[in-house]
Amino acid sequence: MEKSIVDIVIGMQYGDEGKGKIANQMASSGEYDCVVRFNGGGNAGHTIYLNGEKIVTHLVPCGVLHGITSVIGNGCVINTKKLFEELEYLEGFGFDTSVLKIAENAHIITQEHIDEDSKDTKIGTTRTGNGPCYRDKVARTGIRAKDVPELQPYLTDMHSLIHSSSKKFLAEGAQGYWLDVDFGDYPYVTSSNTGVGAVLNNGFNHKQIRDVVGVIKCYSTYVGAKGYQQIHDDRFEKLREIGQEFGATTGRPRQIDWLNLNEVITACQMNGVTKLIVNKLDVLAQVENAWDWYEDGKLHFADDEESFVSCIANRIKCYIPDIDLEFQGQLH
């Protein structure tokens, strides 16, 4: 039997790089049998434009929009009430949600988890109960999907799903690599691993990984309690308005800064990225004199879009010569 393979989409910054858009483009290609979410919970907000309609999902993988088997993997945490609300929301658009499956060993977010997370002032969490749920998972006091009666019809085990027949999987990440609990700016991180290792912890083995698609914006954003961007710059205000940089889950204004190339290169190296997609060039193009980026602690700038693109591409290729690069606008 031929083995299953998996292509992976991961954000290389702090979330909101446009992974939802890229995962959706890939899922619509007809190439995949199954889309898997491998980490995170309702803290994620994936914005997808489909047939002129804006669709925001939090937990359900984008395969549902294409009639493809869609799995909430065991690396995720689930708020059952919110999940059913999201399924109803998607059914309202006419999508068939019977393609959804849930790993029997995924963990459940309880009201206590949400109440506790809602008291957070230190990290600036999304208050969705994420951290307390992962804590209880590791403390071995958590509740799993297989313990919840309403979830019985959806349950799957990841071993038979992945290894009993040959399938093509798309693994869709949540958050971004720099929110990773181990490699991010701890404690200003989310409570799960967000990189390629997290995919393997959903039952894939290393030989099954084919492409790792990294996604970035051509500038940086961050939502949370940390003072991220220190200097005031009117161009950041413009970028926020034009790029609609407000949290998809919480509506909070995202802090804006220039692209940090060292961060992006490190994330590509740590995740074995084979292809990097640079998003939202059309947004940066609408702000005057904004072709700036940080590298080695210094601010660099290009005169125009063309030289920005070629500088960025050259710098990244210095470190990762065989990487495939693609530059895109916001909606296409």
Catalytic residues: 16, 46
Q: Starting at the earlier edge strand, list the strands of the sheet with 100-103.
A: 155-156, 100-103, 69-72, 34-37, 168-172, 5-11, 209-217, 275-279, 324-327
Extract the tokens encoding 13: 């910054």
Q: Does 257 bind Mg ion (CB under 5 A)?
A: no
Q: How many CA atoms lie within 13 A of 329 on its CB side?
A: 7
Candidate ranges 71-79, 165-173, 242-250, 314-322; the one touching Mg ion (CB under 5 A): 242-250
Extract the tokens encoding 81: 């009430």
The vertex-205 CA angle with 192 and 20, nearest 5°, equals: 50
Look at residue 124 and give the partner it binds from Mg ion, ligand IMP, none, a contact being a CB closer than 5 to 8 Å depending on partner kind: ligand IMP
Q: Does 174 bind ligand IMP (CB under 6 A)?
A: yes
Extract the tokens encoding 35: 């889309």
Look at residue 130 and give the partner it binds from ligand IMP, Mg ion, none, a contact being a CB closer than 5 to 8 Å depending on partner kind: ligand IMP
Candidate ranges 39-47, 80-88, 89-97, 152-160; the one touching ligand IMP (CB under 6 A): 39-47
Residue 17 Cα distances to 113, 138, 176, 290, angstroms: 27, 29, 8, 18
Q: Does 132 bind ligand IMP (CB under 6 A)?
A: no
Q: Does 57 bind ligand IMP (CB under 6 A)?
A: no
Nearest distance in Å: CB 46, Mg ion:
6
- Convert residues 38-57 into a mask of x (bound to Mg ion by CB under 5 A) and - (unbound): -------x------------
Extract the tokens encoding 59: 């937990």
- Convert residues 100-129 into a mask of x (bound to ligand IMP by CB under 6 A) and - (unbound): -----------------------xxxx-x-
Q: Does 16 bind Mg ion (CB under 5 A)?
A: yes
Phi/psi-derived region of residue 66, left when phi > 0, alpha when psi is between -120 and 50, beta in every other case: alpha
Q: How many CA atoms lie within 13 A of 310 on its CB side?
A: 5
Extract the tokens encoding 132: 């307390």
- Convert residues 223-242 into a mask of x (bound to ligand IMP by CB under 6 A) and - (unbound): xx------------------
**Which positions touch ligand IMP (CB under 6 A)?**
15-16, 43-45, 123-126, 128, 130-131, 174-175, 179, 188, 190-191, 223-224
